[in-house]
Chains A and B, each alone.
Chain A
């Protein structure tokens, strides 16, 4: 099909090896012990892919072996090599300084920002391929136009890339607090969104018959718009799904460009990243008992739940840091349940100190993590790891939920919806059916929260606040934990 560009078998092999390195990089993440080796393999795979591309595209040989004489030699396109080197250097400096400076609590924003860069890079590559199809080996020599198959691939690539870019920018602004986390609802948004999506698909189909610049530009612009419209109505609590979904999109964009370039490394990587993001989205949706469609449709958490209003008058117990220190000091086992509030207050280091003091007093301390606690999958685990909490003290929902009944104190810090028993009993609750941590089964629940007024993202009141065995500690999470630590010492 593509006689114009002869595929160098060694280059093809190198790309395949790079793809396998990426598979092993993800495989390494099955346990923290093997994870760093995996990450190194990922780096090696990337170096191999970049190196192979540079060698095959910047070096050319015109060596001719004729009878007994060898003429010609190896040529380097030194100018282009220099420019590319500078481009990589700029990117490396920005990337590495960002990676070193970023606070662990800001990881969701960083990942969203990185996704937007992949999306934009995919768009730029697709436009470059459109402007110079010969260089990409997708020019049909007979007609002088881009090959029809490649047009579909490019169309899909640029559409997914553009959606990834504008969607990730919105996700970043919401996560970073530059834009309200509340869902913004446009009238008739479903009709508009479906209409634009249909238009994009029709344009890609039309692009096969007519590779005019205008068609290509229209696909790009509409895709930017739909990415923006899709993410704007989605509220803060659904961000773990959105971030995972955009992760998936960035993979599919890479895969589509891999099809255009017939590049194994890109196709394997795209498929890996695409499935990874899709699986994470699925896990997050499941952990909220919501369908993917309802998350994407957006609007969750826009209106306060029906039980939100009457809560103010109900009796509840206030506790002090001294009470909390005493109760936990007497306990045999304490389970700590962290949530997004812990991240906001940066309380993880104080929390670990508290845990260490308790352990010294002979108390068993465990951490229970709900899959959607925080703003991205695994967010709480990273924060606890940052605070030096050993990872074998940290448990997932299904592994620890049975233990609350035999636990003396459940210490809930900055989490709310994920502990709400209404999810198990109240069919009218918007979070009904969501798996929750059974904190109310513990002998005592200590609930750290900024105020009684604020409800979780789902906008529903939590029965646990008003139970006889619950003690509310209303203050900043970090300050409260520090006071408890002081009271213990």
Chain B
């Protein structure tokens, strides 16, 4: 299935596939050991920041891809 995805998307998928697994393992550890205790208001806020940060980066990279693909396509120089 991955072969049908254009090659230039592979890094994005890997970054937010393997990277997401690492991120989720981290969340599981801190929640499981109650280092991040969601019964505390401050910890809930920080937990939200962690999720939003990931979404922020994923959104930024996605928009960057869209710009690269669709804003003024047809490069003058270099090889695609």
Are A and B physically bound partners? no
- Chain B positions within 8 Å of A, measured between CB atoms, are none
- Give chain A's interface residues, CB within 8 Å of chain B: none
